[in-house]
Amino acid sequence: MTDGIILIDKPADMTSFGVVARIRRVLSEQAGKKVKVGHTGTLDPFATGLMILCAGKECKNAGHYTKLDKVYEATIRLGRTSSTGDPEGEITDMNDNQPSHDDIDVVLNTFKGEITQTPPIYSAIKIGGHRAYDLARQGKAVEMPSRKVTIYSLDVIDYTYPNLKIRTQVSSGTYIRSLAQDIGSALGTGAYCTQLRRVSVADWNVADAQTLSEFGVDS
């Protein structure tokens, strides 16, 4: 196939661009020519789950897929913060206050609906033509513009302190790392995201996606 969409279950510890490059290589080898491939929304290297890739002529419709609602499952570690909002950053102990289940429910309810969110400085958003994460890694001050996003649902899957596992349906542009940090701030414990999995994009589900090895990627 050289035109259309491809559903891939992204593994952890790989960039979204790395996934694209591997799929492009397989398709190009099969077609005997270079095939254009692009993604429709990055997943952080530590994250797993559904990526919708566009190949060939379908790349012109990538913007449509990017704007669709998404469902994530995430594990949030309370009592600590991370400079990046994920396991790859500098981890700082905050406190060992243990919120009750009721405390959790009250706080999560405050995030449902339309909220204002500030994306993490370690993100692919462009500031003055440069990726925010590149500026942050250079030690430069990064001022991230806030944005309106919508949290359609936010439910607890499991809570055993210090780990809070949630499932949430969100609008395009929502950063789950920022949501985790904001939840920790509201609870007074601090928090960061230790695991993140994109379960679905609109009606496409990760259960229907292929792993890289199933697609034919060797490494």
Active site residues: 44
Is the separation of the CB atoms in 148 and 114 below 8 Å? Answer: yes
- C-beta separation of 96 from 79 below 8 A: yes
Tokens of 44: 């952080």
> Which positions ≥6 away from 106 have C-beta within 8 Å?
none
- 3-state SS, residue 103: helix
Cis preceding linkage at 162, omega within 30 = yes
**Alpha carbon 201 to chain centroid distance?**
12
Q: Which of 215, 218, 219 lies closest to 1, judged by CA?
A: 215
